[in-house]
Amino acid sequence: MALDMHTLGQAAGLALLMEGVVYFLFADRMPAMLRQLAELPVSLLRILGGGAMLLGLALVFLFKQS
């Protein structure tokens, strides 16, 4: 699997697009959601972050192979 700057740029752009859509569509609810996230234990945030990374990695490999 060759990783070039074009693919890396596309992946970064897609990540920013998806992040921006959430803030755009739910701007009125984001402050409350961020306050709730700030109250979660660090260990749970690490587990959620690790799970998101593993899911993202699995998706990259799944779609890169096809």
Please tell me the predicted confidence (pLDDT) of residue 66: 57
The mean pLDDT value of the chain amounts to 90
Interval 9-13 mean pLDDT: 90
pLDDT confidence of 42, banded at 50, 70, 90? very high
pTM, two decimal places: 0.71
Does the pLDDT of residue 16 top 80, yes or no? yes
Please tell me the predicted confidence (pLDDT) of residue 7: 83
d(CA 39, CA 51): 19
